[in-house]
Amino acid sequence: MSEYRNRAIVLKQRPQGEIQEGDLAMEARPVRAPGEGEVVAQVLWLSLDPYMRPRMNDAKGYMDPIGIDEVIVGESVARVVESRSDKLKVGDLVTCYSGWQEYVTFPADAPMVYKIHQKNNVPLQTYLGVAGMPGRTGYCGLMYVGKPKAGDTVVVSAASGPVGTVVGQTAKQEGCRVVGVAGGPEKCRFVTDELGFDACVDYKAGNLEDDLKAACPDGIDIYFENVGGAVTKAVAPLLNPGARVPICGYVSAYNAKDMSEVETPFQILKALDPVPEHRFFLVTEWQDRHQEITQILADRVASGELKYRETIAEGLDSAIDAFKGMLKGRNFGKQLVHIAD
């Protein structure tokens, strides 16, 4: 038994629609002593991401469901506090899939564990945001699925979030005209004034179809899908011949009581004539380029070229409410939980 006092948030029952009291619970969990080749790490920052919600359902998707009484999945920045490995020493900083807890024990050579080579002017938590998994998702989805060309019109939903932030700024660097879709005037101002998008449509303003059409007078060549629902329906008629649609997710449906009744982006796009090139993708398709792309994005953060916004919740106790709020778009930019220094 380790001397570390650990708390974890675990799945007690599967949510029916929105997460309710009793679905998730905080519990004291022991920290397993490290075996040969293993380390114990203290979680400093926890990432909250939309993909976690579908994994709470009892349905097989692109990743297995979380089991009852299991720790909620999630990536973190953690510091090694005990080591029985030559690969990681005490004090090393890593990104790892610790889940929603304060300490974690794992093999130093486990998949998806990466040592952080922190750069000046790159805060640790950005390795969970624009220089981390969401940033790599945006970069890879745009560059390798969207395949932007100078002069293309690129539309990205959830434009002020960490994925959309990277998609839009990368597309601008590629010479594209970039239009964001975001919720509320404050987020839209940020997207245009700070991130440098050419336009941003407020989906909450009540004129989504007309506003999007006005922002895209030459149609849409790439639509980066994060949201689904009404946004996809507004985008669909504006897609140009040869358009590409990288599908990252569709967060608008993640609280649905029955996902089988949701009209997905795939159904909306397949109803078009011609059907645009589109596919769902996972950032792990480019796992062999993880360090290379992290370095590209971290360099852009360090230089001030890649701008971003964060919403930070303090302490593991705040994680459930922060997660529920994120699914409703209450966060501004990347949603993080600060657990320890």
- pLDDT score of 263: 87
Tens of pLDDT, residues 151-177: 999 999 999 999 999 999 999 999 999
φ, ψ (nearest 5 deg) of residue 160: -90, -5
Mean pLDDT along residues 217-237: 96
Tens of pLDDT, residues 205-221: 999 999 999 999 999 99
Return the half-sphere exposure (C-beta side, CA atoms, 13 A cut-off) of residue 252.
Answer: 18
| 35 burial type by CB count under 10 A (0-12 exposed, 13-18 middle, 19+ buried) | exposed
**Coil, strand or helix: which one is 138?**
helix
Residue 291 scores a pLDDT above 60 = yes
Mean pLDDT along residues 171-194: 97
Is the CB of residue 232 less than 8 Å from the CB of residue 170?
A: no
pLDDT-based confidence at residue 55 (cuts at 50, 70, 90): very high
Mean pLDDT along residues 227-239: 95
Strands (E) located in 161-258: 177-182, 199-202, 220-224, 239-247
Residue 107 scores a pLDDT above 60 = yes
Mean pLDDT along residues 292-301: 96
Domains of the chain: 7-129+308-338 (3.90.180.10), 135-284 (3.40.50.720)
Cβ within 8 Å of residue 237, ≥6 positions away: none
